[in-house]
Chain A
Amino acid sequence: MNRQQVTATINGEHKEFLCEPRQSLLEVLRDELFLTGTKEGCNDGNCGSCNVILDGTLVNSCCIFGVEANGGHITTIEGLSKGNELHPLQQTFLEGTGMQCGFCTPGFLIAASALLDENSEPTEEEIRHWLVGNLCRCTGYDKIVKAVQDAALILRERAL
């Protein structure tokens, strides 16, 4: 199948790559660019494990073709921390045991970071509404909600 050239900025880096038109952005990220932090849990838009931010919007990368990302700006889990400095969400998920197996975690972190970009003081209700597209089978979600609240607090304190 013909491969097409795609240019995109991924985690701040300029990337050019070839991909087949049938390949999803998720597949391209994982199998062509070896950014395997973004996970596949369902491949049909129902689990949020594949969440990335494309041009400022939270998306399920399994539901977008790689070629559609041409010219786009993408943030994946690999781009969430600044070098070795963890994003406050990464810190609070770690300290507050917001994960068990950790498979859903990249998706939750990306989704929650998109929320905190928009809303610096989300209520529990708002957090739960925002994260409804992310499935976790291990934690029962409580510690995830608390980790997001704690990270929001850290970010607010930093902004002062």
Chain B
Amino acid sequence: MNDYVIPEKLRVVGTTPIRPDGHDKVTGRAKFGDDFHLPGMLHGKVLRSPHAHARIKSIDTSHAETFPGVHAVVTAADFPKISSNVIDAGEAGQIDMQDVADNCIAREKVFYDGHAVAAVAADNAHIAEEAANLIQVDYELLDPVMDVRSAMADNATVLHDNFLPGAFLAPTEKALPNASKLELAMGDVSAGFDEADIIIEREFTTETVHQGYIETHIVTAQWGANGMVTVWTTTQGQFAIRDQLALVLELPMSAITVIPLEIGGGFGGKDSIYIDPLAVVLSKQSGRPVKMVMSRAETLRATGPSSGTYIKARLGVKIDGTLVAAEFHGAYEAGAYSGGPVAPGVSTALTRYNIPNVKIEGYDVLVNKPKVKPYRAPGATPSNFAVETMIDELCRELKLDPVEFRLHNALKTGDRLVLGFPCPEIGGVEILKAVQNHAHYQSDIGGPHRGRGLAYGFWFGAGLPSSADLMVNSDGTVQLCSGSPDMSGTRITLAMQAAEALGIEPNDIFPSVGDTASVGYSFQTVASRTTFATGIAVYQAAQDILAQMAERAALIWQIATDNILIDGGRFVNKTNVQQCFTFKELAGKLVGTGGPIAARALASPEGVGFQITAHLVDLAVDTETGKVDILRYTAFQDAGKAVHPDFVEGQIQGGTVQGIGWALNEEYFYDGAGHLKNTSLLDYRMPTILDVPNIEAVILERPNPGHPYGVRGVGEVPIVPPAAAIANALYDAVGIRMNTLPMTPAKILDKLNSITD
């Protein structure tokens, strides 16, 4: 792991230039998934299961096939049964690609309401939809299993006779017919509880939620005459889509080119295939390009979501406020196939406190809901909700200030983590002190039924492979191409790092996102990693460019390369300091001195800076209706170094508001038969502009030594503490302890009535 010497003064990093892709986005010119058209293109539509759990007895596509305007119809029979289905995901475990394929189109059984069963390509989407509805499927209904506790109960209906245990961050082991398990431990937990003066044990449930990106899933595919496949899609990872497509269609990865279009939000939910292989096979069969656009209802029924959970936790504390022992049990929905976010969820449950004795168990539980996908700090919001509300309870019981309590127990650099390694550089103490010193914390709340809540949150983030190409043009401008889709301004944050490293201006760098045929392999834009990890690839490529340019300068001046001093975008002859080239001057001499210069770096950095945050919220409760009004919200976060502070603030504000939605409104409603009842954005209600106040973002900068400019990921942790902070404020306001998400007006009223009865 690299420890970088972070320059004290940065010239570009920390400023707020305008993103180069912005003009096209404000004028409607940017090409998102559905803004792409090919001549002769057909439109595909999917027939989806109306049942949550059923065996497919037969499918009759004949009426659809003969419907005027239809060009192709596919079912699972048109897709290969995958020969080598088990993929090694490194330390994380293994992934069953047959599951991935079956999730795209059901083979023998349907596992959730909305599971794709067949697809049609026709002259337009209306015809495709009409034709899809003519497909007759004969189902044998099975009992649906709709929540983790019934799935784990004795005699529960079994979803899969065999399954590969879930793998996400860490492997799990099969423990029950519908669940696999992971355990983590540190110290001696029973001895720890013996030491405790106060022990509390609580249970929590949280409901399934969706990432809620405003652009749905859209793909266009073209099967070329030579068997080469081209796919245009809106995705967080063009290479992920390519690799998954290759594996489920049994094609060489190099035979598929995935071209990433602009992406209208992802939050973790847009890095896997759904309609993509259907569009490819429909294109193959029809001989025409095929576009498929998911409706909002399809997106809610069949993509994402994030796990509902059942959590039981126990905390032991000494009378002086020292946490001595903790036990955490978290059962997370995996959805229809294994591999939900249980490992990151439970392993971050307590990480931010230094607790010597810890026992954690997590269950990855199969239920008849869509296969869950990552959602911003996957798994951490429910576990944080549980632990932070319990901490609040302990603070009240012990009459300790909630910030002081957390300061007393805060995880510090070097403390051992439950994952078995020491905590890297972390600024938790600084964050908590910033809360204490902030005007918000010191202000009066005022008014009846008003309350204030605090929660403290943690998230890992990730490194993983990234690639970046830089090419110097003869006019001194530089092309930057990375493999990381830009969801929220990373073209500019990468360009800024290139500019910083090369000693030139950000508007001399022209960033782009490459397709799979034109740039090196890059992992998805996920895990708060792009500005960090792709930033390091950019930095490394820039160092290579500088070295090559120094060689050219040396060649021109006929001196040894060692005698070239590179200083702020200038190349100076150390032996004759009168001789000096600016970056631009030297760029103009490259072609004549050996040809243009380019560099590629593939980085897989390990020095990930952990994300730590505290959220403070004031709210008012209408005790007649149970409605909560957020009055003031401040989020404190360590960015390591904010490359573009406006975008960092934006990440904090956006993530917080998603967390507020999770806390108060958002949930999947299933009826007893397992049908999703709220499939529109009216009924799956995400926060509107009227539901939230300004989220004040307080950015702290404790540099991450694992990045040349000290950058930490920032995107994910803001979603972690809002639910707990709001729950704690609710207690402060009206004396109710919520142990379930979302905390809807109805649930709040119920609680209020139960305490006044």
List A residues at the B interface (Cβ < 8 Å): 1, 20, 22, 30, 34-44, 46-47, 49, 76-78, 80-81, 86, 90, 93-97, 99-106, 109, 127-129, 131-132, 134-145
Contact = CB atoms under 8 A, between A and B. Distances in A.
A78 B28 CA distance: 6
A92 B651 CA distance: 18
A36 B27 contact: no
B296 A132 contact: no
Given A137-B654, A139-B650, A132 B689 contact: yes
A125 B261 CA distance: 36
Contacts of B651: 100
Given A39-B32, A47-B681, A101-B263, A140 B657 contact: yes
Nearest to A49: B214
Contacts of A35: 28
A103 B215 CA distance: 7
Contacts of B29: 37
Q: Which among B212, B295, B681, B695 has the greatest number of chain A C-beta atoms within 10 A?
A: B681
Contacts of A78: 27-28
B656 interface: yes
Given A94-B26, A103-B264, A132-B690, 7 more contacts: A40-B34, A77-B27, A93-B26, A137-B211, A139-B654, A139-B657, A140-B654
Which residue among B16, B262, B690 has the maximum number of chain A CB atoms within 10 Å of its CB?
A: B690
Interface in B620-667: 646-647, 649-651, 653-658
Nearest to B644: A97
Given A22-B126, A49-B214, A145-B689, A105 B265 contact: no
Contacts of A137: 211-214, 265, 267, 654, 658, 686
Nearest to B30: A102
B262 A102 contact: yes
Given A49-B214, A139-B650, A30 B28 contact: no
Contacts of A100: 265, 487-489, 647, 650-651, 654
B429 interface: no
Contacts of A134: 689
A40 to B, nearest CB: 7
A42 B682 CA distance: 10
Interface stretch (B17-25, B162-170, B461-469): B17-25
Contacts of B488: 100-101, 138
B512 to A, nearest CB: 16
B657 to A, nearest CB: 4
Contacts of A139: 650, 653-654, 657
Q: What is the interface of chain B mostly: helix, strand, loop, or mixed?
A: loop
State the 8 A-B residue pairs at the shortest beta-carbon distance, nearest first.
A37-B28, A103-B264, A102-B25, A140-B653, A100-B488, A77-B28, A140-B657, A36-B35
B657 A141 contact: yes
Given A36-B34, A132-B690, A99 B214 contact: no
A46 B683 CA distance: 10
A97 B25 CA distance: 11
Contact of B264 (A39, A42, A141, A142): A39
Interface in B680-698: 680-682, 686, 688-690, 692, 694-695
Contacts of A103: 32, 213-215, 262, 264-265
B265 A135 contact: no
A20 B22 CA distance: 35
B438 interface: no
Interface in B686-712: 686, 688-690, 692, 694-695
Max chain A Cβ within 10 angstroms of own Cβ: one of B30, B214, B265, B654: B214
A44 B25 contact: no
Nearest to B659: A140
A27 B755 CA distance: 53
Contacts of B677: none
B396 interface: no
A111 to B, nearest CB: 10
A100 B694 CA distance: 16
A41 B686 CA distance: 13
Contacts of B264: 39, 41, 101-104
A128 B212 CA distance: 20
Contacts of B681: 41-42, 44, 46-47, 135
Contacts of A102: 21-22, 25-26, 30, 262, 264
Contact of B296 (A43, A77, A93): A43
A135 B688 contact: yes
B160 interface: no
Contacts of B692: 140-141
A46 B682 contact: yes
Contacts of B680: 42, 44, 46
B26 A90 contact: yes
A149 to B, nearest CB: 12
B37 interface: yes
A144 B654 CA distance: 11
Interface string B258-298: 00001111110000000000000000000000000101100
Nearest to B718: A140
29 contacts: A30-B35, A36-B28, A39-B34, A41-B214, A41-B296, A41-B681, A42-B680, A44-B681, A46-B682, A86-B27, A93-B26, A95-B18, A99-B22, A99-B26, A100-B265, A101-B214, A102-B22, A102-B25, A102-B30, A104-B214, A104-B264, A106-B28, A137-B267, A137-B686, A138-B265, A138-B487, A138-B650, A139-B650, A140-B655
A150 B27 CA distance: 18
Nearest to A147: B26
A135 B655 CA distance: 14
B654 A34 contact: no
A30 B34 contact: yes
Interface string B194-216: 00000000000000000111111
A97 B650 contact: yes
B690 A128 contact: yes
Contacts of A145: 689, 694
Contacts of B690: 128-129, 132
Interface in B194-247: 211-216
Given A22-B126, A38-B28, A103-B215, A144 B689 contact: yes
Contacts of B688: 132, 135
Given A90-B26, A140-B650, A41 B657 contact: no
A71 to B, nearest CB: 24
Find the residue from B35, B264, B487, B694 having the highest chain A CB count within 10 A: B264
B41 to A, nearest CB: 10
B228 to A, nearest CB: 27
